Amino acid sequence: MEAITGAKGGSQKQHTPVEQPDSAQSMARCRMLLALGEGEFAGGLDATRIFLDGTPLGNPDGTMNFENVSWDFRPGTQTQTPISTLYKRFPVTGIQTK
């Protein structure tokens, strides 16, 4: 069997790859349940202590750094209510792809 060998086609000049800046805007959505710990949590949780990529959801003055973000906290007690937003149905929008 004959070995297949390749040869560079086209220009003889080498091309140096260039990484383009990340300028894509995403409308991605995520629904996440994060459960940490064992037993009851001491102290509460607020938006200044939840981070997305190093940025807190909220600021100490009450303003939010992200739009359309919601969160719930449960302290780990036996009488706590369920997280109702976890069971909501969200509409799915199809995107035309080829």
| pLDDT computed for residue 54 by the predictor | 93
Q: Angle at CA 49, nearest 5°, toward 43 and 51?
A: 150
Does residue 4 lie in a domain region? Answer: no
Contact at 8 Å (CB) between 34 and 22? no
Q: Tell me what the mean pLDDT of segment 59-88 comes to.
A: 84
* pLDDT band at residue 89 using 50, 70 and 90 as cut-offs: low
What are the tens digits of pLDDT across the range 26-73? 777 777 777 777 788 877 788 999 898 899 999 999 999 998 888 888
What is this structure's pTM? 0.51
Question: Within a domain: residue 79?
Answer: no
Least Cα distance to 80 among 48, 50, 47, 37 occurs for 37
| 49 within some domain | yes
Which of 32, 64, 29 has the alpha carbon at shortest distance from 47? 64
To the nearest 5 percent, what fractions of the chain are helix, strand and coil? 5, 5, 85
pLDDT recorded at residue 42:
79
The range of the structural domain enclosing residue 50 comes to 39-67
Question: Of 46 and 14, which is predicted with more confidence?
Answer: 46
Q: How many domains does the chain have?
A: 1
